[in-house]
């Protein structure tokens, strides 16, 4: 067989031939790998035992992947786990074959096997990657990381921090992850909530900053089910982007930042706390005031704060309007504890709620439990879909659409920001609209991963 060297040393004729070869023959340089593997790490505070995790590269979160906008990511997933796996690149307007959904866009990657992910990243922003096989277990065990697509012209900041927020359900005695991933209690209620809340895998994450320093915080909610409600203390600034997509203008941070599972927010904040004090990103949920990240203010970056930052540059094709050919769709979410669902279609059969519960299934979309054989809709490319979602359950849900961002159609008829995950409260009815501009089969599911695993899953096809 010809070696690569001989091949490359070939004549001009051989070079001309290169263009005719199938791509596989040219892929002589193996992709950099991303290893899904087991590891033991110190997640809980000092004094507690280490925790066995599953992580990309043996850490949780996995390595921060950075790509320039319009660039290409090439990574071989090497599965060294005891379970089959795959990677989904959450929020990327991706080539469908690279979306990482076993059974829909690719075959599952068995232990010992690999899969080459190779795709272009059209949009700048804060994204993330995570396992999409048995996600409710594999993401909880640590298989997730940040994916940053950098703008050509970055905003004027002093530093950037990627902050992956997560919670872990840990036995405090052993330090081990609770193995009850199928818990009917978690599935039928708010999902798997952890008892150890971390930032970048660190308890009580602390960093040193300077007064008047300008930070870009890229917040990612990687938790299975936890809704992060965050307040800023000693930090002031703006929301710049949601779910990766820039807002048309920076939005002053006056209230809490709410992130459902899967959601992201890019903030630009200035350190306004005095030197010698501590600023916080703190939880404003039931653990009111618990620091999520502490910023110790040491020294001064400048005498005064800077002015309002410019908006981040818009991503291509993020403008669409509702005039033109659109199709109306509805999605009714039902089930769960304290709900009114009496039964639904499960595996092609009308099934009562009790029998559903025995099969550890609790939720339905439009009267159907779990992934249906036929899509919720088949859309023509370029068509505008308007989807009304009713949450007829007693719990909030975080609805995530793969492959395309959507905008909420607000009560006054205007359109909200581009998002890929919509956090919906109990009993809410909301409408989203999206341009079906990415061909392929795309999941639409609740990102509370135990809900997705127990019924809240459907898909749309873009022809
Ligand atoms: Cu972030 Cu289908 O998932
Ligand atoms: Cu849900």
Architecture category of domain 159-300 in CATH: Sandwich (2.60)
Q: Which atom of ligand 1 is nearest to the CA of 101?
A: 2
DSSP 143: -
Atom of ligand 1 nearest to the CA of 443: 2
Question: By alpha-carbon position, which residue is closest to atom 1 of ligand 1?
Answer: 90
4-150 belongs to which homologous superfamily? Cupredoxins -  blue copper proteins (2.60.40.420)
Distance between CA atoms of residues 22 and 83, nearest Å = 32
Which stretches of the chain score pLDDT less than 70?
1-28, 318
User: Could you tell me where the beta strands, DSSP code E, fall in 42-142?
Assistant: 51-56, 65-68, 72-79, 87-90, 114-120, 125-131
Query: How crowded is the C-beta side of 54, counted as CA atoms within 13 Å?
Result: 23
Q: Is the pTM above the cut of 0.85?
A: yes
* Residue whose pair of structure tokens reads 């809900």 in the numeric block: 451
pLDDT at 18: 45
Residue length, the chain?
463
Handedness of CA 230, 231, 233, 237 (dihedral sign): positive
- For residue 6, give both structure tokens: 């001989």
The residues spanned by each domain of the chain are 4-150, 159-300, 326-462
Q: 23: buried, middle or exposed (CB in 10 Å: 19+, 13-18, 0-12)? A: exposed
Rounded distance from Cα 347 to ligand 1 centre (Å):
23
- Taking Cα atoms as reference points, which of 41, 40, 37, 36 lies closest to residue 203? 41
For ligand 2, the distance from its centroid to the CA atom of residue 231, given in whole angstroms, is 24
Ligand 1 centre from 220 Cα, in Å?
A: 13
pLDDT score at 323: 79
Pocket-forming residues, ligand 1, beta carbon under 6 Å: 88, 90, 130, 132, 262, 400, 402, 443, 445, 447
What secondary structure letter does DSSP report for 402?
Answer: S
* φ, ψ (nearest 5 deg) of residue 98: -105, 5
In this prediction, residue 20 carries a pLDDT of 47
CATH topology of 4-150 equal to that of 326-462? Answer: yes
Nearest ligand, CA 424: 2
Confirm if 305 and 363 have CB atoms less than 8 A apart: no
Question: Quick one: which atom of ligand 1 is closest to the CA of 130?
Answer: 1
Residue 332 Cα to ligand 2 midpoint, Å, equals: 12
Ligand 1, atom 3, residue with closest C-alpha: 90
Atom of ligand 1 at shortest range from CA of 262 = 1
Find the 136 Cα to ligand 2 centroid distance in Å.
12
pLDDT for residue 28? 61
What pLDDT score was predicted for residue 5? Answer: 36
Domain 326-462 carries which CATH code? 2.60.40.420
């Amino acid at each position: 067989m010809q070696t690569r060297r001989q091949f490359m040393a070939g004549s001009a004729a051989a070079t001309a031939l290169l263009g005719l070869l199938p791509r596989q023959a040219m892929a002589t340089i193996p992709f950099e790998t991303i290893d899904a593997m087991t590891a033991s790490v110190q997640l809980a505070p000092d004094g507690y035992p280490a925790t066995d995790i599953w992580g990309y590269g043996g850490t949780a979160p996995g390595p921060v992947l950075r790509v320039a906008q319009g660039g290409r990511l090439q990574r071989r997933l090497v599965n060294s786990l005891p379970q089959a796996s795959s990677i989904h690149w959450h929020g990327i307007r991706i080539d469908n074959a690279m979306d990482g959904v076993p059974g829909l866009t690719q075959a599952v990657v068995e232990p010992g096997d690999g899969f080459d992910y190779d795709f272009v990243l059209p949009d700048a922003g804060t994204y993330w990657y995570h396992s999409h096989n048995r996600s409710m277990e594999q993401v909880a065990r640590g298989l997730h990381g940040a994916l940053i697509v950098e703008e050509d012209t970055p905003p004027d900041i002093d530093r950037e921090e990627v902050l992956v927020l997560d919670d872990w359900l840990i036995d405090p005695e052993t330090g081990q992850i609770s193995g009850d991933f199928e818990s009917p209690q978690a599935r039928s209620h708010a999902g798997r909530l952890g008892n150890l809340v971390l930032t970048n895998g660190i308890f009580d994450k602390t960093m040193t900053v300077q007064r008047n320093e300008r930070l870009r915080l890229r917040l990612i909610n990687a938790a299975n089910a936890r809704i992060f409600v965050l307040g800023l203390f000693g930090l002031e600034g703006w929301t710049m982007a949601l779910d990766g997509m820039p807002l048309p203008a920076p939005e002053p941070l006056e209230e809490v930042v709410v992130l459902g599972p899967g959601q992201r927010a890019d903030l630009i904040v200035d350190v306004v706390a005095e030197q010698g004090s501590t600023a916080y990103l703190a939880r404003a949920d039931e653990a009111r005031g618990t620091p999520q990240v502490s910023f110790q203010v040491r020294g001064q970056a400048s005498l005064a704060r800077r002015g309002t930052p410019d908006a981040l540059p818009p991503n291509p094709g993020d403008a669409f309007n509702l005039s033109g050919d659109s199709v109306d769709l509805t999605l009714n979410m039902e089930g769960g504890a304290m709900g009114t669902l009496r039964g639904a279609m499960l595996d092609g059969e009308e099934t009562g709620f009790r029998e559903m519960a025995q099969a550890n299934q609790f939720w339905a979309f439009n009267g159907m439990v779990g992934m249906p054989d036929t899509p919720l809709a088949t859309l023509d490319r370029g068509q505008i879909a308007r989807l009304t979602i009713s949450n007829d359950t007693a719990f909030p849900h975080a609805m995530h659409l793969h492959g395309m961002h959507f905008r909420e159609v607000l009560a006054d008829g205007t359109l909200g920001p581009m998002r890929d995950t919509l956090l919906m409260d109990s009993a809410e009815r909301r409408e989203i609209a999206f341009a079906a501009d990415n061909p392929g089969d795309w999941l639409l599911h609740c990102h509370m991963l135990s809900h997705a695993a127990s019924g809240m899953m459907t898909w749309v096809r873009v022809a």
